[in-house]
Amino acid sequence: LIPLIVGERIKKPVPLQEQTVKDAKGRYQRFHGAFTGGFSAGYFNTVGTKEGWTPSAFVSSRQKRAGRTILGPEDFMDEEDLSEFGIAPKDITTTDDFASKAKDRIKEKARQIAGVVAPIPGTTAFDDLIGPSKITVGVELLRKMGWKEGQGIGPRVKRKPRRQKPDPAVKIYGCALPPGLSEGSEDEEDEYQPENVTFAPKDVIPVDLTPKENVHGLGYKGLDPSQALFGASGREHLNLFTGASEETNNLLGELRHSKGRKLGITGQAFGVGALEEEDDDIYATDTLSKYDTVLKDEEPGDGLYGWTAPKQYKSKKRSEREFKYIGKILAGFSLASKSSAPIKVYPPPSLPRNYRPVHYFHPVLAAGNENSHLQKVLEESAGKLQSAPAPQSRHALSAAQRREQLGETELKGPAPSILEYLSEKDRERLKEVRQASEQQMKAKAECEQPPKSRLPPLPSEDSAHKWQVLLEGQLANAGSSDFKPFAKNPEKQKRYESFVKSLKQGEKGDALERFLDPALPAWERGREREEFCRAAAFYRASSSALASRFTRARYEDDVDKVEVPRDQENDIDDKETAVKMKMFGKLTRDTFEWHPDKLLCKRFNVRDPYPDSSVVGLPKVKRDKYSVFNFLTVSEPTTSVTQATKEKIQESNSLNKPRKSSRWDVSDKEKEKKDSISEFISLARSKADVQQQPPVPAGEECAAGTAETLPTEGADEDKNQEEESTRPPMDLFKAIFVSSSDEKSSSSEEESDEEQQPATSEREAETTKPADVPDSSSSNLQEGVTATMDSGISSLPASKQALDDPEEFGPKLPPAFSSGRFCKQLDRKEKHRKIRERHKSKKEHKHKKEKKKKHKKQKSKGKHKNKKSEKDSSSDTADSSDSLSEVDASGLSPKELLRR
Amino acid sequence: DGNYCLTCGSDKTLKLWNPHKGTALRTYQGHGYEVLDAAGSSDNSQICSGGADKAVALWDVTTGQVVRKYRGHAGKVNCVQFNEEATVIVSGSIDSTVRCWDCRSRRPDPIQVLDEAKDGISSVKLSAHEILTGSVDGRVRRYDLRSGQLFSDYIGSPITSVCFSKDGQCVLAASLDSTLRLLDKDTGELLGEYTGHRSTTYRLDCVLNEQDTHVGCASEDGHVYFWDLVEGSLALSLPVGQGVVQSLAFHPRLPCLLVATQGQVTLWREDTFQPE
């Protein structure tokens, strides 16, 4: 520390990271380890250099392996460490070894013995490197008295020369001792010693007092690694010592002569005895090369047996086949001369071709009034299935037509309208409310854009008139009438065409009515008319919007392109003909602008033809990646087909039959297409028909836009269930989600509208909240639904409350729809929407996920329920309505999101 | 350059041969699956190869090591080519893309992906500033880097092989309807049509000889057919072997033809040629 100079002002304390210590050369001094100061100096935690640690030399292992450098501890030490005051000073200092000139041999010997005993022999040898042994005074005195190291102390003795000849009877194992080291040679010298010569007494081995601190057995000594590792060279000693174990004492006594030698292993606790001659180098490390690494044919027959197989097999002359898995035959057994008869395998009975592995029950229906029709339908369809008629014609029939064919009376099921359930007073009130709200709506529609088609319109006279007015203008520019929305129902199509024609001519009101099927009841007629109107509108919208953009897909691969190249390679048909006519050239040649990558040009030594373009490849027309249009191209030609399939599905649903999954797949696909279409319709309408237009209910639109089946109760329910069970693939989801945001940005008109919408809806949600069902505030949709679902009419007050709302949740009870359930459904729909919108602003994102999840869930659930609910047909309301509520969520969600 | 010959095969290796002496010079191992095509650089220092392991490998000729491996194709790599300076490898794959890989930088991704083809690429050839691709969708596409244009010629049946003529004015395309067509490069007009061989299933090569006088094509009946370029008449059919003649290559300068069939490569020269 710098001593403080008196009078000087105390400086600010230096922060820790700036407190640096430098060494003599001005470099940053590093401290060492925890014991010498901690690692904190120099560049903070960067191994002392600005750049930090870098590997000294990186050598790619691909080319050659980096040479394994053996690093000593010095390599990791700093040079300061090696200096005089470091951890490991390298300076030469005089050691006591040299001071004393002689080593203490006794100690050395003791150490040697200890070294044998010690687990790591040789470690003791380092002892005298580190701590030089000191020669005591006694030793020095002894030396002066003539004692030599290695001799015993005491009076000299006359020793009888000992012959150490190997006993001829005893076999000597192993090699003979190396001549220079063998004690025999010394003993031979002893033989010729004169009698009077005395010897110094044998050196006394200091008693080994090392305590037994291991858990080995008594007398056990660890494996000498030098022998174990260096195999053969050490084994000579091993053999020698163990073979002549009776001489151990002597050997130990004369250890001094074989000082250079290390004592070997004397224990017997090894797996291989010393006497086993043929055992080859057991301690040798075995390498991978000793093993088979390649699968190949070995000696014939050899590979068939495991390596543990007996050796006798070779001598035997049995056929290989018999021996394959037997190996050695047990005594007393012999191989059978003839093989047993092969076990006969009976094939499973072949299934009849039309067998279905699921049993289904013919529904035992109560012969109730409301079920009779369904039963009829079932019987009819079942009978038809057996006789297998042309399915198209059957499916093409609507329920009403079928009923007519069968000579049935009209359904006496639930009343066609919910209004019938109401008391006279309520009806009065409803009417009032409706009219009021309608006027309100009209007023609103005039001042601003029509709200998104969210609510069911009343197919009342005035709305129909509106349709007509609207359509008249549109149809004027509608071209050829090859658009056949009801192609599957020729009667209806005919009706529709005449309807359109008359519309074009400008007929109104009741004049149009005559084109409708007189056989149908009034409410159906009304419905049909609206359908026609809608179809006409759709035709106009879609034909103008689509026809300009798309041609019929000739090749599928042209369709699913996400980014549509600006220059499509044009018609292949023409080219084919050209090729056939061998008119190559202009006809078969397409030339595009193509932008090579800049780097590619550079590499090819070519000037970039488009130096200022950032495009690479063919210039593309940017389109929404997951645009609805991309899907529409697929679906366009199939619009007319959807109805048929839908009807088919409905038929099949009413058949109470386990459906094959394939059929559902089809319906899925169809559904997806339909969805996208209805998507598009709503979109196109909102764009095109910005004039007043009654909002169209989403759910109804779905049904009305493409399908025209007259909703009997069963069919209606089935349809709903079908909706629920279908789940558009992820692509479509993406398309909807992505495009919705894209659409927003693209059309500012819509945007403003959309911005308004959630705000109003939220406000409304707030206002209706207290009046609503008490538990609607709960975020749990399911709960809210089930609570309102106790009875069909219990939901009515809620709906009445909703009637008061100006536009969003207007009093759009669909009178045309016969079933009370549909009303319920709509109510629930509204509620769902409210609930959802309440949480929308916060967890829009979450909702999406949720919905996806829900969809997934519903798919399985819905299927399951379909079967179930159909088994006990329409009686099970709780179940089906439960699923219906989910339908609402699923059926609406894409549209909902689109509108956001 | 006519001195060496590269073979590649389903044993996952490439072999470099001296076809004139018939000696195998080197084997290159490192592909994970069959090697479908290989090409040498103009200075004979590098080899590129593409295989069924969807990778394009760049080899060092002398060391036999893989210098670089480009992964990115989604399917088998059918054909590889170096550009003139061996700075770019162009590979065509069954995934209907042609990818241009940079040999100079360490970039793992291609310089450019030419994904205009609607089906697998069967053949790729390069000139100084053009990339010629033949695709199974029946089109011959020529990407002209200099003018920045893509010319797409519709042939009709799947293209098995394309090649430039030596003068660079024509494009020869072999297709699976057993026809070779010689197209004018600039206008796309048909200059000649050569039939007589059989090519319906395999990806067979077609060549032009060293002076652009004849058109050669491998055939599935074990012959190599040669037509006169101008007249379009069959000039020669070489019976090479029993099976399909898979590949053939013409010497750039000498009248010397390499034919690969059924696991063996044979070298054909004119009758007057005296082997040393």
Q: Please determine, for residue A453, whether its predicted confidence score (pLDDT) is greater than 60.
A: no
Confidence band, pLDDT 50/70/90 cuts, at residue A683: low
pLDDT value at A94 more than 80: no
Q: What is the pLDDT of residue B101?
A: 87
What average pLDDT does range A343-372 have in this prediction?
Answer: 63
Residues 97-126 of B with CB under 8 A from A: 100, 102, 104, 111-116, 118
Specify the pTM: 0.35
pLDDT in tens, chain B (276 residues): 567 778 777 778 888 887 777 777 888 888 888 888 888 888 888 888 888 888 888 888 888 888 888 888 888 888 888 888 888 888 888 888 888 888 888 777 888 888 888 888 888 888 888 888 888 888 888 888 888 888 888 877 888 888 888 777 888 888 888 888 888 887 777 777 888 777 777 777 777 777 777 788 877 777 788 888 777 777 777 777 777 777 777 776 776 777 776 666 777 665 444 433
CA distance A730 to chain B (A): 23
* Best-predicted range by mean pLDDT (A431-445, A679-693, A856-870, B78-92): B78-92
A240-259, pLDDT tens digit by residue? 444 444 444 444 444 444 44
Strands B46-51 and A620-621: unpaired
Minimal Cβ distance to B88: which of A588, A600, A608: A600
Which has more pLDDT, A495 or A833? A495
Question: Degrees (nearest 5) of the Cα angle A581, A586, A590?
Answer: 115
Mode of pairing for the β-strands spanning B256-261 and B264-269 = antiparallel
Please tell me the predicted confidence (pLDDT) of residue A748. 41
User: Of the given ranges (A250-254, A660-664, A847-851, B174-178), which has the lowest mean pLDDT?
Assistant: A660-664
H or E element, residue A494: helix A490-505
HEC readout, A342-383: CCCCCCCCCCCCCCCCCCCCCCCCCCCHHHHHHHHHHHHHHH
Identify the CATH assignment for B5-200 out of 3.40.50.300, 1.10.3720.10, 3.40.50.10490, 2.130.10.10.
2.130.10.10
* Helix or strand (DSSP H, E) at A844: helix A844-871
Q: How confident is the model at residue A279 (pLDDT cuts 50, 70, 90)?
A: low
ipTM of this predicted complex? 0.75
Distance from CA of A566 to the nearest CA of B (A): 12
**pLDDT tens digits, one per residue of A144-164:** 777 776 666 666 655 544 444
Q: What is the mean pLDDT of residues A491-503?
A: 70
Closest residue, chain B, to A555 (C-alpha): B118
DSSP β-bridge partners for residue A705: none
Cβ atoms within 10 Å of A286's Cβ, excluding its own: 9
CA distance A608 to A596: 8
pLDDT at position A546 is 46
Q: How far are the Cα atoms of A770, A847, A848 from residue A842, in angstroms, in the given order?
A: 21, 9, 12
CB contact under 8 A, B118 and A557: yes
Q: What are phi and psi of B27, to 5 degrees?
A: -120, 135
Cβ–Cβ below 8 Å for B156 and A609: no
Confidence band (pLDDT; 50, 70, 90) for A205? low
Domain extents in chain A: 105-146, 465-546, 561-624
**How far is the alpha carbon of B9 from chain A, nearest alpha carbon, in Å?**
21
Q: How far is B10 from chain A (nearest CA, A)?
A: 19
pLDDT at A574: 59
Report pLDDT for A856: 47
pLDDT of residue A878: 41
Q: Confidence band (pLDDT; 50, 70, 90) for A224?
A: low
What pLDDT shows up at residue A699?
A: 40
Instruction: Write out the two tokens for A456.
Output: 């069911």
Summarize the confidence of residues A95-110 as an average pLDDT: 53
The answer, for B190 touching chain A at a CB cutoff of 8 Å, is yes
Q: Please spell the DSSP secondary structure of A225-261, one letter per residue.
A: HHHHHTHHHHHHHHHHHHHTGGGHHHHHHTGGGGTTS
Which pLDDT value is given to residue A269?
46
Partner-chain residue, chosen from A565, A575, A597, that has the shortest CB–CB distance to B154? A575
Can you give the length of chain B in residues?
276
Highest mean predicted confidence (pLDDT) among A91-100, A216-225, A694-703, B123-132: B123-132
Above 50 in pLDDT, residue A653? Answer: no
Residue A547 has pLDDT above 70, yes or no: no
pLDDT band at residue A727 using 50, 70 and 90 as cut-offs: very low
pLDDT of residue A682: 52
Distance between CA atoms of residues B120 and B137, nearest Å:
7
Lowest mean pLDDT among A332-346, A420-434, A702-716: A702-716
Average pLDDT for chain A: 52
Confirm if A61 and A49 have CB atoms less than 8 A apart.
no
Mean pLDDT of A110-121: 57
Helices (H) and strands (E) counted in chain B, each on its own, are 0, 26
Predicted pLDDT of residue A604: 77
Q: What region, left, alpha or beta, does residue A174 occupy, with left being phi > 0 and alpha being psi -120 to 50 degrees?
A: left
Are the Cβ atoms of A603 and B102 closer than 8 angstroms?
yes
* SS3 category, B13: strand
Q: Is B29 on the interface with A (CB under 8 A)?
A: no
Mode of pairing for the β-strands spanning B159-164 and B170-175:
antiparallel
Residues of chain B in contact with residue A586, where contact means CB-CB under 8 angstroms, are 187-188
- Check CB contact of B177 with chain A, cutoff 8 Å: no
Cβ contacts of A709 within 8 Å, gap of 6 or more = A398, A399, A643, A646, A647, A650, A715, A719
pLDDT band at A292 (very low <50, low <70, confident <90, very high): low
Nearest alpha-carbon partner for B209 in B262, B248, B237, B173 = B248
A interface test, pick of B98, B145, B177 with most A CB neighbours within 10 Å: B145
CA-based nearest distance B178→chain A, Å? 14
For residue B15, what are its two tokens? 């072999």
DSSP for A850-866, please give it.
HHHHHHHHHHHHHHHHH
Helix, strand, coil: what percent of chain B each, to 5?
0, 55, 45
Residues listed for chain A? 900
pLDDT at A781 over 80: no
- The predicted pLDDT at position B223 comes to 78
Domain boundaries along the sequence of chain B:
5-200
- H helix or E strand, kind and range, residue A106: helix A105-117
pLDDT exceeds cutoff 80 at A603:
no
Q: With contacts defined as CB-CB under 8 Å, which chain B residues touch A59? A: none
Which of A60, A597, A604, A613 to mutate against chain B (most B CBs within 10 Å)?
A604
Top-confidence residue, A754 or A39: A39
- In whole angstroms, what is the distance from residue A536 CA to residue A498 CA? 12
Q: Residue B188: which of A588, A593, A609 has the nearest Cβ? A: A588
pLDDT-wise least confident of A13-27, A189-203, A314-328, B31-45: A314-328
